[in-house]
A and B are shown apart, each in its own frame.
Chain A
């Protein structure tokens, strides 16, 4: 699938002090592609996801979004970030704002929409994630699964070109995982470009165009999901899959 590249990483290296967390990463994500990043903890997959909108800086290499190199911290970077939606493991909804205000805030402050217009769009999105009735509650009054769906709506409200998911279901109780995955499945079907760091192998199998397997800061395999799950090439991937798929 060598269509229009939306995200390009070339020779990306990152260190935390001595620790070399990203080693010569090359990765291209095309428009409309769903790329799932999996790997053992500490393999650098979350860090990789966070470098794409420069929440983590890199020491060397190049990251391009829609052809544009990521700028330094400042207005230009802020503008570029508004094109990249992000969903976090710990939801990170604004605790002092209601659900509706959470979804509207970025539209008003960043996109410059009028409040009424933003609120209307927010309600549509909340409807889409099944939470229209919770609009006036505060985040602390919602379950984890509901909070994460609000967080997805908040990111979508910016009309992003791509969505990054950094372990979106890892902090959820098991019975709430599906409600979040269903929203993500729907997004994938609608053609959204997505990079998803996750441990949900079912989601990787059913929704991903490609699976990127990372270990020790490197991309070890980058293949179609069916190939990867049935015929992993590297020892590292075989070992990883044998541990998680047995039970």
Chain B
């Protein structure tokens, strides 16, 4: 217990770091995933290709490798940003590929007749997508998107290896101070549990409110 009470501010900083990473990267992943899913079902061929390449590259690259690519690669092209921002970029882009595919599978659950009816009324592609198809697709993707964001929260631990302050990284500081490594990890695990359970709770509420009624 001492390890927690003695080092509350270290744990607190790490916990807040993980929360920040998770929130910002989630927002980026949701926004990019939404755009890429729109690209993948767009009537314009080059958009579809772009979306497919985006998903193929990001989903098939190990996240650690992606962190190296972003943190070491981008500065070579003159783009120098705080490590926290790089970490959000890497995490957000990586997760956007999974969000995109979840959304796309949701789009496929909406009967084609819905889109045809909208187009026959004279709605444009973007009106059809935003007004008719996506609102119905969202209902069936609430749970897979929730799982993807929980995975994102846990994946954020990799950022610790790149000197971003986050929860898992606290074990190094505390280990050096001679605290029991086992208890340190127990408290770290509990910290992650708080974050992931909070995400589950939010998505359970969303599903109750908006999920497919059967």
- A interface, CB within 8 angstroms of B: 53, 55, 73, 75, 78-86, 88, 90, 92-96, 105-106, 109-110, 151, 154-155, 158
Chain B contact residues, CB within 8 Å of chain A: 43, 111, 113-114, 116-125, 127, 131-132, 135-136, 139
Asked if A92 and B124 make an inter-chain contact with CB atoms under 8 angstroms apart, the answer reads: no
Instruction: Tell me which of B43, B116, B122 contacts A106 (CB under 8 A).
Output: B122
Nearest A residue to B110 via CB reads A95
Q: Pick from A79, A80, A94: contact of B118, CB below 8 A.
A: A94
Which chain A positions have C-beta within 8 A of B131?
Answer: 105, 109
> What's the minimum C-beta distance from A68 to chain B, rounded to whole angstroms?
14
Q: Are B121 and A105 touching (Cβ within 8 A)?
A: yes
Q: A83-B122, A106-B123 are in contact. List 19 more A-B contacts (CB 8 A).
A: A55-B116, A78-B122, A81-B119, A81-B120, A85-B120, A86-B117, A88-B117, A90-B111, A92-B113, A92-B117, A94-B114, A96-B136, A109-B123, A109-B127, A151-B117, A154-B121, A155-B120, A158-B121, A158-B122
Residues on the B chain within 8 Å of A94, using CB? 114, 117-118, 132
Contacts of A105 in B (CB 8 A): 121, 131
Whose C-beta in chain A lies nearest to the C-beta of B116?
A: A55
- A158 proximity list for chain B (CB < 8 A): 121-122
Q: Which residues of A contact B132 (CB under 8 A)?
A: 94
**Chain A residue, CB-CB nearest to B139:** A96
B122 touches A81 (CB 8 A): yes
Q: Could you say which residues of chain B place their CB within 8 Å of the CB of A79? A: 122
Q: What is the CA–CA distance of A38 and B136 in the complex, to the nearest angstrom?
A: 35
B135-A96 in contact (CB<8A): yes
Assess whether B120 is in contact with A84, with CB atoms less than 8 Å apart: yes
Complex: chain B residue closest to A89, CB-CB: B113
In the assembled complex, the CB of B63 is this many whole angstroms from the nearest CB of chain A, namely 35
Report yes or no: B43 in contact with A73, Cβ–Cβ below 8 A: yes
Neighbour of B117 across the interface among A75, A84, A93, A109, CB < 8 A: A93
In the docked arrangement, what's the CA distance between A154 and B123, Å? Answer: 13
Residue pair B113, A90 in contact (C-beta under 8 Å): yes
Cα–Cα, bound, A155→B122 (Å): 10
Cβ–Cβ contact A78 & B120, under 8 A: no
Determine the chain B residues whose CB is within 8 A of the CB of A83 once the complex forms. 122
* Contacting residue for B121 out of A73, A75, A95, A155, CB 8 A: A155
CA distance A154 to B136 in the complex (A): 19
| Chain B residues near A109 (CB-CB < 8 A) | 121, 123, 127, 131
Contacts of A81 in B (CB 8 A): 119-122
Chain B residues with CB under 8 Å of A55's CB are 116, 119-120
B119 surroundings in chain A (CB, below 8 A) = 55, 78, 81
CB-CB nearest in chain A for B44: A73
Which residue of chain B has the shortest Cβ distance to A164 in the bound complex?
B120
**Other-chain contact of A53, B114, B118, B120 (Cβ < 8 Å):** B120
- Residues of B near A95 (CB, < 8 A) are 114, 136
Q: Which residues of B contact A53 (CB under 8 A)?
A: 120
Residue of B nearest to A110 (CB): B122
Which residue of chain A has its CB nearest to the CB of B43? Answer: A73
A78-B117 contact in complex given A73-B43, A95-B136, A96-B135, C-beta closer than 8 Å: no
Q: How far is the CA of A86 from the CA of B123 in the complex (A)?
A: 13
- Most interface-central of A85, A93, A94 (chain B CB within 10 A): A94
B116 & A78 in contact (Cβ 8 Å cutoff)? no
Tell me whether A110 and B123 are in contact (CB under 8 A).
yes
**In the bound complex, CA of A53 to CA of B114 (Å):** 16
Give chain B residues whose Cβ lies under 8 Å from the Cβ of A75.
124
A73-B43, A96-B136, A105-B131 known; A88 vs B113 contact (CB < 8 Å) = yes
Q: Which residue of B lies closest to A86 (CB)?
A: B120
- Give every chain B residue within 8 A of A85 (Cβ-Cβ): 120
- The CB with the most chain A CB atoms within 10 A, among B122, B124, B135, is that of B122
The interface residues of chain A lying within 8 Å CB-to-CB of B43 are: 73
Complex CA gap A73/B115 in Å reads 14
Point out which of A53, A84, A106 has the most chain B C-beta atoms below 10 A from its C-beta: A106
What are 22 A-B pairs with beta-carbon distances under 8 A? Answer: A53-B120, A55-B116, A75-B124, A78-B119, A78-B122, A78-B123, A81-B121, A84-B120, A85-B120, A88-B113, A88-B117, A92-B117, A93-B117, A94-B114, A95-B114, A96-B139, A105-B131, A106-B121, A109-B123, A154-B117, A154-B121, A158-B122
